[in-house]
Structure formats: C-alpha cells, structure tokens
Amino acid sequence: MLRNPGLTGRGGMARSPSATAMAAFGLATRPLRSTLPGVGVGLLADPRYAIMQRPQESPPYSRRARMNDILEGVVIENHGALFDVLVGDAMLRCFLRGRLKKDKRQKSALIAAGDRVKVRPLGHGRGVVEEVLPRESDLSRKAAGSIPLQQTLAANVDQAIIVFAAAEPAPDFFMLDRFLVVTAVAGLDQVICVNKCDLGESNSLRERFALYERIGYRVLFTSAIAGKGLDELRALLADRRSVICGPSGVGKSSLLNALAPSLSLRTAAVGDVTHKGRHTTSSVTLLPLPFGGWIADTPGMRQLAFWEVPRDLVAEAFPEFRRFLGRCRFQDCSHAGEPGCALHAACKDGQIDARRLRSYRQMVGR
C-alpha cells in the first residue's frame, strides 16, 4: 500500500499513528473548569464533548492565580472574529490578541481548527489567544472569491478522509484528484471514501475507483445509512487526527454521526440531498471521537484552488507519475504534449491512465 509515499509535505510532518491524538494536540492534562469556576462554560453541557470529562483530581487553584496563567489549548471552531478553544476540560470563547493580526498572513491562514494556541483566560468563559504555536501540518486552499487569500482548513491533522458519493451527487473525478493533491501537499495520509453505496454501485463506478486502488490509494466503500464499511472507517480513525472533506451533500457529517451518534451533527434533511447550493456544515469543527482520536468535520467544498503549490509538486502528488518524473526530454517539461515527454509515453503504454494525466493538465492550466 502506497500511503502517500515520498511527499514530505508543506509542514514536513512526522507521522505517528500510534501517538494518541489527545497528547498530540497538547490537550487536557488537568481539569480546568472544575477547579476554576467561571473560567470555562458550555463544554460539559455539550454532549459532543462529554467524553472529555475526567475525574476531578487536581487540587483547587486560586481564581486569581489561574486567571493570570497562560494555558495551552486547541482551537475547536472558528467563528470568524471569535474562536472556541478547548483548554483542559473547559471551552473558552476567545478573541485574537491584536498584535497577532499584524502577522503578514491573513487571519484565515493564521488560526484554524486544530491549531495549538496559548490562551489567557479572562473569566466567564472568555479568553484571549496570545500565541499560535507552530503547526505540524497545514491543510490550506486559496479561499473562494477573486482576492488571493490563503485559507487554512485544518491544522495539525495527519490524515484526510476524502469523501465522495456513489450517487447524489455523482462523483466528479477532477475534484477527487484536486482533493488528493491538496492533501498530499499537506503531507497527510489519504483515504478515499465512497459513501452512499446503498444507492447502488455500478460496475463502471467500481472500475473508476479501482483505478485509484491500483495507484495505491486506500478506497473504502461505505454507507452511513446502511452501516456499510463503518467498522473499517472507525479503525482507520481511531487515535488519529483526521480531517473529513469532500463536496457538499456526500454524507461527511452523516458518516460521523453513524460512527459516533453522540456527535449529533446537523445533516441535510432527507430528500434535500442536493442542498440547492446550501452547505449544511458551515464551519470547520474539531470533534473528539468516542473510540479515540479527533476529526475535523468540514463544510462541503465546491472549489479547491491551490494555495502556492508549484507545478512540480502537483505532478509529484500523482503517485503513479513519480517514477517517470525527471525522464522527459526537456527538464522543464510541463507534460502538456511536448516531444519526448515521459508521462505522455507512459500514458500511451497504459502505465498512466489518460484521465489522470488530463486531470493533471487541467490543474496546471495546460
């Protein structure tokens, strides 16, 4: 199984599937809320985070002393100007310290779900983010719209579950290839998940995804409704830090609900599978999994423009291209039909699928 071999990724992330996600996010070594009344609100009342509840073993702290502490936490959700940060067993609604906004990156790239941050609690469930700690990985795209803006979708995750539906909506393989490139560039392990298999798996659909299996990707066939493939998905997610992504309406949130009903995520109303352009999930939210690990649920993406991904990195993100790269007649070959192109020759020989080469060319604008 080729698991994204050879790509070190933007963050150069070291992968440690066995490391527990909790420790990796630097989360929750001591209860906070229970020892400091008024610091955190809402967390234990939110059933999604009930699994974070731990025995209250710490000695009581003085309110004043802890208020002045700078504590480490992880960003759970980005509300635009405000962020929910999990600190110990408390959720703090935080704003960003003004000087952080002077960072040359736009705010959409500065802080994202999964970021480890230093927070100063202000009481009454409020806090201020003093510092965003360096990332191990960074899953970014160019934000939708005409202004060039980096948008970090999730930070510090190490695996991407890329979901498409067998039908409703039918899979768009150019989009799948884009998701594969963006997540490879971020250095993430990748799983392709074909959901809604209860709606039928035609032979041609099987064949299309078999191509990805031959390339070395792990492809999982699931149904959130019929419960198919869920044990396998659960095993892949356990104790990992994952992000689930894909187009809108493919059943990302439904899959998470099927795996962990206590998450109670909002999904599209039955019968409204195309959403008429609406997204049911509206912001990235980091969720704890009852069987260990964390997952960032993301809103469906209609566009996935690259953020500063050089062309040769795009080619490298196609695992089956790699052994031919560097063998073209021209060193700066763009693989768009130049004479002596090794990728083109491999495609003629049947060693590279023509649809994948076309996908690559479309991505690099050739």
Ligand X SMILES: Nc1nc2c(ncn2[C@@H]2O[C@H](COP(=O)(O)OP(=O)(O)OP(=O)(O)O)[C@@H](O)[C@H]2O)c(=O)[nH]1
Please tell me whether residue 335 binds Zn ion under the rule CB under 5 A. yes
237 lies in the site for Zn ion, by CB under 5 A: no
Q: Interface residues for ligand X in 180-199 (CB under 6 A)?
A: 195-196, 198-199
Distance CA 88, CA 278 (A): 35
* Separation of alpha carbons 53 and 344, rounded Å: 57
User: Between 222 and 280, whose beta carbon lies closer to Mg ion?
Assistant: 280
What is the DSSP code (8-state) at residue 305?
B
Q: In the complex with Mg ion, which residue's Cβ is closer, 34 or 281? A: 281
User: From ligand X, Mg ion, Zn ion, none, which one binds at residue 4 (CB under 5 to 8 Å depending on kind)?
Assistant: none
Identify what 109 binds: ligand X, Zn ion, Mg ion, none; CB under 5 to 8 Å per kind: none
CB of 131 to Zn ion, least distance (A): 45
Confirm or reject binding of residue 219 to ligand X (CB under 6 A). no
Minimum distance between the CB of residue 342 and Zn ion, rounded to whole angstroms?
6
Instruction: For residue 116, give the nearest of 138, 141, 142, 143 by alpha carbon.
Output: 138
Interface residue with Mg ion among 34, 140, 222, 281 (CB under 5 A) is 281
* Selected range binding ligand X among 24-32, 97-105, 184-192, 246-254, rule: CB under 6 A: 246-254
From the list 71, 75, 66, the residue with the least C-alpha distance to 95 is 75
For ligand X, the closer of residues 48 and 118 by Cβ is 48
* C-alpha neighbours within 13 Å on the C-beta side of residue 53: 10
Residue 205 in contact with ligand X, rule: CB under 6 A: no
Interaction mask 255-294, ligand X, x per CB under 6 A: ------------xx-x--x-x---xxx-------------
From candidates 75, 250, 260, 315, binder to ligand X by CB under 6 A: 250
Binding mask 261-280 for Mg ion (x = CB under 5 A): -------------------x
Out of 254, 285, 334, 359, name the contact with ligand X by CB under 6 A.
254
Closest to ligand X by CB, 24 vs 197, is 197
Site for Zn ion, residues 274 to 333, rule: CB under 5 A: 328, 333
The token pair that represents 347 in the structure block: 């495609």
**CB–CB of 328/335 below 8 Å?**
yes
Q: How far from the centroid of its chain's Cα atoms is residue 262's Cα?
A: 21
What the block records as the tokens of 47 is 């059933």
Reading phi first (left if > 0) and then psi (alpha if -120 to 50, else beta), residue 275 is in left
Instruction: Tell me phi and psi for residue 119, to 5 degrees.
Output: -125, 140
Report the relative pairing of strands 189-195 and 159-165 from DSSP bridges: parallel
* Count of positions on this chain that bind ligand X (CB under 6 A): 24
**How does DSSP classify residue 290?**
T
CB-based contacts of 3, cutoff 8 Å, min separation 6 = 189, 190, 216, 218
- Burial zone of 12 (CB within 10 Å; 0-12 exposed, 13-18 middle, 19+ buried): exposed
Cα 29 to chain centroid, rounded: 25
Residues in 290-329 that interact with ligand X by CB under 6 A: 299-300
Classify residue 243 by burial, with Cβ atoms within 10 Å: 0-12, 13-18, 19+: buried
Closer Cβ to Zn ion, 227 or 337, answer by number: 337
Residues that bind Mg ion (CB under 5 A): 252-253, 280-281
Residues that bind ligand X (CB under 6 A): 195-196, 198-199, 223-225, 248-254, 267-268, 270, 273, 275, 279-281, 299-300
